[in-house]
Amino acid sequence: MLKKNRFMQENKALIERLFYNRGIDVEIQGFNNPRQGKWCFYPRLSIIAPRKPSAAVNDYALSHYDTRGGIHRIVGRKIARRAYLNSFGLLAAGSMDITGISQEEKHWMFLIRKRALYLLDFSDATVTSVQKNSQPRQSFKNLLEFRKNHDYSFLPNLIEYGEDWYRETFIKGKLLSLYENSSDYNTLLSQSLDCIKALAKDTLVFKDPREYSDELCRRIANNLEELSVDPDCRNVYKQIAGQYSEKAQQLNKMVPVVRAHCDFHPANIMVDKQGEVYILDWEANDQRSIWYDPAVMLLGLRRPDGLREILSKFDGEKVSEALLFNDGEKNYNMESLVSFLALENLLGKTIIAADFKERAGAFLDRTIQFHRERFDENR
C-alpha cells in the first residue's frame, strides 16, 4: 500500500507541474479505489491512462512493451498489457480525476520513466516531458542543449521548452526493437547508423591520444568523488582506468572524437508509418570516440558482458569492422582503440552509478571485479 501511495503522490505532483509549465492550472484528486476516477494508475505498466482510452491510446499502449528476456516473458508482457487496458480500470492500482483540462483527455496517456514523466497527446501528435525532481538537473540541461543546437531530420521537432520540461512532435510508429522481420530490421538499422554517422561527420574533432585518455581519466575521477563509495573502491577504479589509459595512449593515430548518443540501441529508434527513422532519448549524449556508438549498437558494449566480449576478441574481423564502420581509417592499433572504448565504458558506468545512490559502490564493485579478473589473466 505504501509503495502504491508513493507512486500516486509522486506522479500526481509531476502531472500538476507538467500542466503548470504549459500555463494550465489543474486540480488533481487521487483515489485508492480504482473505480472512482476517470484516470487509472497501472504501476506494472508504468502508465496512467483514461478509464476509456481512445483507440489510438489503446493501440500505442498495447504495441510498446519491453522486449528484454526470453519469448515467454515477452508474450507474458503482451498478455498482461491487454488484460490491464481492457479491464476498464478494474485492474488498476488506483485512480484520479483531473479538473481544468480539455475534453480531449481520452486521447492522452502518461508514461512514467526513470528520469521523467511524459504526456502523449494523440489529438495533436505532441509529447510533453517533465523531469523528475530526483534526477540531476545536469542531465536535462544536457538534453536540452543538444536539442536546441542540433536540427536533423531524425530528431522530432522541438516545439517549446522550459527549465525542466519540453514539448516536441510525437512520432507515431514502431520501435526498431519490436521488428521481427530480419530484412526490415537490418535495413532500418542501417538507416539509423547513417543518422549517427551524419552527426559524427558534423561534430568531428581530432584529439591527441594522451590528452584524450587523460581527459577521460579526469572525468572518471571527478565522477567518483561525487558518488557515495568507499575510498578503496574509488582508488581501485581509478587504477583500472589508469591501466587502460597506458594502452590507449599507444594509439598510432589521432583520436576522432564526436558528439555521440551514448545510449544507442533499438528501443531508442522509432520508425514512422512512412519508414522514416527517428533517434530518441538524447539525455546521455556526450563527447565520445567515433567508435563508441557503433560499439554500443553493433557489439552490445553497454550490455553487462558486452565489454568482456569485445575485449576477448578485439582483433576479430567482426569487431574491427563494426568499430570502424563510420571511420575511413583502417590501420589502427586495435588494442589501443579498444582500450579507449574501455575507458569510455568506465566513464559511462560512473554516470549510471549516480542513479543507484547509496548502492553505487555495489554497482561499481561488479565492474571492478570483471576488470581485475581480466588484468590477472593477462599477467
Residue 2's pLDDT band (cuts 50, 70, 90): very low
Inter-axis angle of helices 360-377 and 334-353, nearest 10: 160
CA 115 from chain centre, in angstroms, equals 9
Contact (Cβ atoms closer than 8 angstroms) between residue 82 and residue 62: yes
> How many Cα atoms are found within 13 Å in the side-chain-facing hemisphere of 209?
19
CA 240 from chain centre, in angstroms, equals 26
- Measure the N-to-C terminal CA separation of the chain; round to a whole number of Å: 54
CB neighbours of 161 closer than 8 A, spacing ≥ 6? 144, 147, 148, 167
Instruction: State the pLDDT at residue 54.
Output: 84
Instruction: State the pLDDT at residue 376.
Output: 57
C-alpha cell at position 241: 582506468
Q: pLDDT tens digits for 259-311? A: 999 999 999 999 999 999 999 999 999 999 999 999 999 998 888 788 888 88
Q: pLDDT tens digits for 103-150? A: 667 789 999 888 899 999 988 899 999 998 877 777 888 899 999 999
Task: With a cut of 60, say whether residue 197 has pLDDT above it.
Answer: yes
Residue 158, judged by CB atoms within 10 A of its CB (0-12, 13-18, 19+), counts as middle
Contact (Cβ atoms closer than 8 angstroms) between residue 197 and residue 326: yes
Q: Does the domain formed by 176-377 have CATH 1.10.12?
A: no
The three-state DSSP-derived secondary structure of 44-60 is CCCEEEECCCCHHHHHH
Q: Kindly state the helix (H) or strand (E) to which residue 306 belongs, with its residue range.
A: helix 306-312
- The rounded distance, in Å, linking the Cα atoms of 377 and 141 is 42
Q: What is the pTM of this model?
A: 0.88
Task: With a cut of 60, say whether residue 189 has pLDDT above it.
Answer: yes
Angle at alpha carbon of residue 355, lines to 354 and 358, rounded to 5°: 75
Contact (Cβ atoms closer than 8 angstroms) between residue 249 and residue 213: yes
- The rounded distance, in Å, linking the Cα atoms of 144 and 115 is 14
Residue 141, judged by CB atoms within 10 A of its CB (0-12, 13-18, 19+), counts as middle
Contact (Cβ atoms closer than 8 angstroms) between residue 96 and residue 37: yes
Contact (Cβ atoms closer than 8 angstroms) between residue 260 and residue 286: yes
Q: Kindly state the helix (H) or strand (E) to which residue 184 belongs, with its residue range.
A: helix 182-203
Task: With a cut of 60, say whether residue 255 has pLDDT above it.
Answer: yes
Q: How far are the Cα atoms of 149, 176, 219, 300, 345 from residue 279, in angstroms, in the given order?
A: 16, 10, 26, 17, 21
Q: Domain boundaries in the chain?
A: 2-170, 176-377
Residue pointed to by grid coordinates 558506468: 349
CA 83 from chain centre, in angstroms, equals 28
Inter-axis angle of helices 209-226 and 334-353, nearest 10: 20
Rounded-to-10 torsion of CA 160, 66, 268, 128: 0
Chain mean pLDDT for the chain: 87
3-state class (DSSP) for residue 295: helix
- The rounded distance, in Å, linking the Cα atoms of 356 and 83 is 32
Contact (Cβ atoms closer than 8 angstroms) between residue 252 and residue 113: no
- The rounded distance, in Å, linking the Cα atoms of 204 and 190 is 20
Q: Which residue has the higher pLDDT, 119 or 78?
A: 119
